[in-house]
Amino acid sequence: MSEKSVFRFAGATGVGSMPGGDAREAAKTVTGSFEDFPYLPELPARGPGADMIGRTAGMLVELYARVEPSGWRIGDRPGRDTRRARAWLGEDLDALEEFTQGYEGDLKVQAVGPWTLAAALELRNGEAALSDPGACRDLAASLAEGIGLHLAEVRRRVPGARVLLQLDEPSLTPVLRGRVRTASGYRTHRAVDRQLVEHTLRDVVGAHPDGPVAVHSCAPDVPFALLRRAGADAVSFDFALLTERDDDAIGEAVEAGTRLFAGVVPGTDGPLSDPAGSVMGVRTLWRRLGLHPGLLAEAVTVTPACGLAGASPAYARQALAHCVRAARSLADNPE
């Protein structure tokens, strides 16, 4: 039986980014908050190479990127920026390994998905890789290979973990709708064919053949059905951005066994409701869809709405603990 078929998602986890620049402190906070489902923290406040695009660019195989005034640009050879990105990822893995000694359970790692990467990385002419179908193919192939190597390294360091791969795709809907701006800012790149988007995502999802894959987007209009067809086992999203137009797609996803990572806890500092109040909207959605309340704990993992990089350290710790309490409320009182 494969790892994918026996994987059971826990009730709460985080999205990815954390505030500050101390890898040990972030790993300690995450593993202490989520005893059943920790994740590899990202610390973008350290600068270029620790941001999500630079971090994932550092994972690419035989493709390299460097920082230009306009952003990350594909180059010919690994340079200082690539080395820095890889060094910070290594530091984060060291910290995670330290705080997961003897751990056996679910563990999440994140990488940027192929379409958000193609929308963010520039070619030599300054335009996004999205503008060149050949560049998109090469980028996706390099990403899949790099993710495979990264997952192998995570398994080596935390051998008792069942690893879930999260692909971050906040630019996916703009890619599908032709809303990614060109370098000049006056035009947009043409929409990418949905079948090509789905096929490419499926190839990158295939980098983790024996384990589950989630796709995360904290943007509006998440394409639930497309992600499900591409092989995603879970979809992670900002719950506040849902509309009733999403009901049918969400209902079909749940009935097909897709896990929902519901971002119900704000990602930036502010007052938090009681845990039951944070998941009230999830219960309301369930009733609207006519789904059995007993399915809630089996189908929903509670998370922050997005990464916590913009939060204060104190609020970040509070938000993660709140996710755990909200998930417990959902499980104990599904109706």
Q: Averaged over 71-88, what is the pLDDT?
A: 94
Interatomic CA distance for residues 119 and 212, integer angstroms: 25
Give the whole-number percent of the chain exceeding pLDDT 90.
90
Query: Is position 212 within any domain?
Result: yes
CA distance 241 to 221: 8
Distance of CA 154 to the CA centre of its chain: 16
Length of the chain: 335
pLDDT band at 7; cut points 50, 70, 90: low
Helix or strand (DSSP H, E) at 72: strand 71-75
Q: Mean pLDDT over residues 296-304, rounded?
A: 94
Q: How many angstroms separate the CA atoms of 260 and 268, rounded?
A: 21
Q: Tell me whether residue 185 is exposed, middle or buried, using C-beta atoms within 10 angstroms of its C-beta: 0 to 12, 13 to 18, 19 or more.
A: exposed
Token pair, residue 139, equals: 């980028």
In a domain, 14, yes or no: no
pLDDT score, position 3: 43
Number of domains, the chain? 1
Amino acid at 291: L
On average, the pLDDT of the chain sits at: 94
Beta partners for residue 288, in sequence order? none
Instruction: Please state, for a pLDDT cut of 70, what percent of the chain lies above it.
Output: 98
Q: Would you state the pLDDT for residue 5?
A: 43
Rounded to an integer, what is the distance from CA 78 to the centroid of its chain? 25
Q: Supply the range of the domain harboring residue 92.
A: 23-332
The DSSP element (H or E) to which 24 belongs, if any, is helix 23-33
Tell me if 30 sits within 8 A of 92, measured CB to CB. Answer: no
Report the CATH number at residue 102: 3.20.20.210
CA dist 268 and 315 (Å) reads: 8
What is the structure's pLDDT at 2? 39
Res. 1: pLDDT tops 80: no
Q: Which residues contact 237 (CB under 8 A, 6 or more apart)?
A: 216, 217, 218, 222, 260, 261, 262, 263
Residues 4, 189: Cα–Cα separation, whole Å: 36
Specify the pLDDT at position 6: 44
Asked whether residue 284 carries a pLDDT value surpassing 90, the answer given is yes
End-to-end CA distance of the chain: 34
| Alpha-carbon 274 to chain mean position | 26
Residues 6+ apart with CB under 8 A from 174: 119, 180, 219
7 assigned to some structural domain: no
Task: Write out pLDDT tens, residues 36-47.
Answer: 999 999 999 999
Render pLDDT for 143-195 as a digit per residue (tens, 0 to 9). Answer: 999 999 999 999 999 999 999 999 999 999 999 999 999 998 889 999 999 99
83-98 average pLDDT score = 98
Does an H or E element contain 136, and which? helix 133-157
Look at residue 112 and tell me if it is in a domain: yes
SS3 102: coil
Residue 3 placed within a domain: no
Q: Is residue 257 within 8 Å of 282, Cβ to Cβ?
A: no
Q: Is residue 2 part of a domain?
A: no
Count of H-run helices and E-run strands, the chain:
14, 8
Name which of 93, 71, 215, 107 is nearest 150 in CA terms.
Answer: 93
What is 303-331 written as a DSSP string?
EESS--TTS-HHHHHHHHHHHHHHHHHHH
Q: In the prediction, which pLDDT does 184 show?
A: 87
Q: Is 47 inside a domain boundary?
A: yes
